[in-house]
Amino acid sequence: MKVIFEAQHLCIPNLRGIASYAINLIHALHQRGKNEYALTFFDKNKERKNKEKHIAPLFNQLNLHYYECNDLSYKTAQDDDFLYKDKSYNEHTGAYGDIFHFMNPHGVPSNIKGSLVATVHDVIPLILPQMFPQMFPQMFLRSIQRIEEKEVCVIADSKCTKNDILNYTNINENNINIIYCGYNKAMCYPDKNKKILDGLNIQGDYLLFLAAIDLRKGINKILEAFTIIALKYPHLKLVIAGGKASNVKNFGKIINPLNELYCHPYIERIIITDYVTEEQKRVLMSNALAFIFPSLYEGFGIPVLEAMACGCPVITSNTSSLPEVVGDAAILINPTDVEQLIYETERIILSDSLRNELHHKGLKRASLFSWEKAAEETEDVYRKAVM
């Protein structure tokens, strides 16, 4: 069976989230050796150099075939249904196969020859449209409508995502398959090497938030809580790692109102890093007193899984998919309740035994998830899609 992955979301710098899912799953599927795999992506006139700059460095060692469309930009191919009226996706890209796997809902074309699989990680643009640029929820809905119309075989990252798909779309329940994400075991494990922290100018005890700086992730609640915690624990720092999300235009606008409100110079004890490498991420998670992730909504929540795999105590939300991922191996809170966040953070700061308990529980819980298992279950979906 020949499976072709739509890989446009890998053609950007600073990969995270969906890109991490795609990279790890493709490598795991290729390693199992059950099917033939290829990639397709757009790069009009090769002006972005997507193949050389982004795709090839990720997969060159796998010897995958690349179908690169240089006549169209991805934006045109994604937004223009009229484009496929007389010419199929296959004819535009030169890609022909048994299965086309779209790693997110975007870009599923109206005219394509081959069975379709799409991973729907979440339907956040339909649940929290206010968190996105104005036109994005409409574009997302159009992508979902294509999936509905074509009876695409859908992969959902969690039971929560499946339930939300059923509640917010008309996708047939029989077409939805739950497959949990994994984590990169070669890069996520306890690592107490402090040299990396020295390079990031981090010394002493710290709390960690590591994700795109996005209001949906609860960064404003973390900052509010830290203003109180910082008064009690003058040695403690807060590390915010990962860089900005595209829909957060000015990070300073998040911090400055809190400075004015509490009249407290806590910004001197907040360390803000840019995008971090896998090695930096591992060391940051392994050495933090706690990983704090009060996200309003996650389709899965790979960061909490990675933190547990690094042995870091986790405080996260009791909403969306996050309880599914962490089980009883993390502290669950209401993501809008700052007082609860402060209370639970203090418990971790003050209790060596609690940190040790969460360390061991997290490692055990993380071991239940793997990309190898996800790849095996994805192959089952491929077989279902071509029946």
Question: Taking 90 as the threshold, does the pLDDT of residue 262 lie above it?
Answer: no
- Are 22 and 120 part of one and the same domain? yes
Residue 218 belongs to some domain of the structure: yes
CA dist., res. 356 & res. 313, Å (int)? 8
Question: Taking 90 as the threshold, does the pLDDT of residue 106 lie above it?
Answer: no
Residue 278 belongs to some domain of the structure: yes
Q: C-alpha distances in angstroms, 272 versus 71, 237, 266, 290, 330?
A: 41, 11, 13, 16, 25
- Are 41 and 116 part of one and the same domain? yes
Residue 208 belongs to some domain of the structure: yes
- Are 98 and 242 part of one and the same domain? no
Question: Which residues are within 8 A (CB) of 69 and not within 5 positions of it... i.e. 6 or more apart?
Answer: 40, 41, 42, 43, 77, 92, 93, 94
Question: Taking 70 as the threshold, does the pLDDT of residue 178 lie above it?
Answer: yes
pLDDT at 79: 73
- Are 24 and 149 part of one and the same domain? yes
Question: Taking 80 as the threshold, does the pLDDT of residue 112 lie above it?
Answer: yes
The residues with which 317 forms a beta bridge, in sequence order, are: 333
User: Would you tell me how many other CB atoms lie within 10 Å of the CB of residue 345?
Assistant: 25
- Summarize pLDDT for 24-40 with one digit per residue, the tens: 999 999 999 999 999 99
- Are 149 and 170 part of one and the same domain? yes
pLDDT at 246: 45
Angle at 143 between CA 139 and CA 144, to 5 degrees: 115
Confidence of residue 107 (pLDDT cuts 50, 70, 90): confident
pLDDT at 11: 87
- Are 175 and 29 part of one and the same domain? yes
Phi, psi for 252 (deg, rounded to 5): -60, -30
- Are 61 and 19 part of one and the same domain? yes
Say if residue 350 is exposed, middle or buried (CB neighbours under 10 Å; 0-12, 13-18, 19+). exposed
Residue 190 belongs to some domain of the structure: no
pLDDT more than 90, % of the chain: 66
pLDDT at 275: 83
Residue 188 belongs to some domain of the structure: no
The residues with which 287 forms a beta bridge, in sequence order, are: none
- Are 125 and 178 part of one and the same domain? yes
pLDDT at 244: 54
**289: domain CATH number?**
3.40.50.2000
pLDDT at 243: 67
- Are 253 and 299 part of one and the same domain? yes
- Are 103 and 205 part of one and the same domain? no
Range of the domain at 340: 195-366
Q: How many domains does the chain have?
A: 2
- Summarize pLDDT for 278-288 with one digit per residue, the tens: 999 999 999 99
- Are 97 and 218 part of one and the same domain? no
Give the pLDDT mean for 312-319: 98
pLDDT at 211: 86
- Are 209 and 173 part of one and the same domain? no
